[in-house]
């Protein structure tokens, strides 16, 4: 009996998290008062006059989302892991973000830490990442992210 209770207690947060997570769209990561500064893809107007356009730092994060259990769709840019599993990655709103310059602004990039590791074969298409969202800046060589997501589950994108 105690073993079943312990097992249920350990698994329950993950089960509840996936079902009760707040489903976010990328525009939800931008404060409402700033949404008029972005186009419909969540990108500010880009100045292409430089040889190497820099990441725009326009836009703030939404502090009220800190510690929220969320589910957000996106494309994965692997950062850490091995041939089978990725443990850290950037989640971005559109294909090619961060690979082509400039990357989206920080409030349109989520740095994901996935302790269990995500299977590599599931990362080439759009996926939902479920976990706890933090309003924490993470700097990486590729780009600066305005959010950190402690990922616990991947789900196929179902375009509801």
Q: Is 121 helix (H, G, I), strand (E, B) or coil?
A: helix
Tally of residues, the chain: 160
DSSP lists the bridge partners of residue 87 as none
Average pLDDT over the chain, rounded to an integer: 80
Phi then psi for 144, rounded to 5 degrees?
Answer: -100, 135
pLDDT score of 156: 86
Residue 54: predicted pLDDT:
76
Provide the domain count of the chain. 1
CATH of the domain at 23: 2.40.50.870
What local confidence, expressed as pLDDT, does residue 135 receive? Answer: 97
Domain assignment of residue 95, given as a range: 2-156
Q: Per-residue pLDDT for 1 more than 50?
A: no
* pLDDT 10s digits, 36-91: 776 666 566 555 566 666 777 778 999 999 999 999 999 998 999 998 899 999 99
For 79, other C-beta atoms within 10 Å of its C-beta total 16
């Amino acid at each position: 009996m105690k073993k079943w209770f312990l097992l249920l207690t350990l698994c329950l947060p993950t089960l509840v998290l996936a079902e009760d997570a707040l489903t976010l769209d990328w525009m939800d990561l931008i404060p409402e008062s700033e949404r008029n500064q972005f186009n419909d893809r969540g990108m500010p107007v880009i100045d292409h006059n430089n040889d190497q356009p820099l990441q725009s730092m326009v836009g703030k994060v939404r502090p009220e989302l800190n510690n929220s259990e969320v589910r957000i769709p996106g494309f994965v840019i692997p950062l850490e892991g091995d041939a089978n599993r990725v443990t850290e990655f950037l989640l971005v709103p559109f294909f090619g973000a961060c690979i082509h310059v400039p990357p989206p602004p920080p409030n349109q990039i989520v740095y994901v830490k996935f302790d269990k590791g995500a299977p590599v074969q599931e990362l080439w298409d759009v996926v939902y990442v479920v976990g706890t969202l933090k309003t924490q800046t993470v700097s990486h060589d590729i780009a600066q992210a305005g959010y950190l997501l402690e990922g616990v589950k991947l789900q196929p994108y179902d375009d509801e």
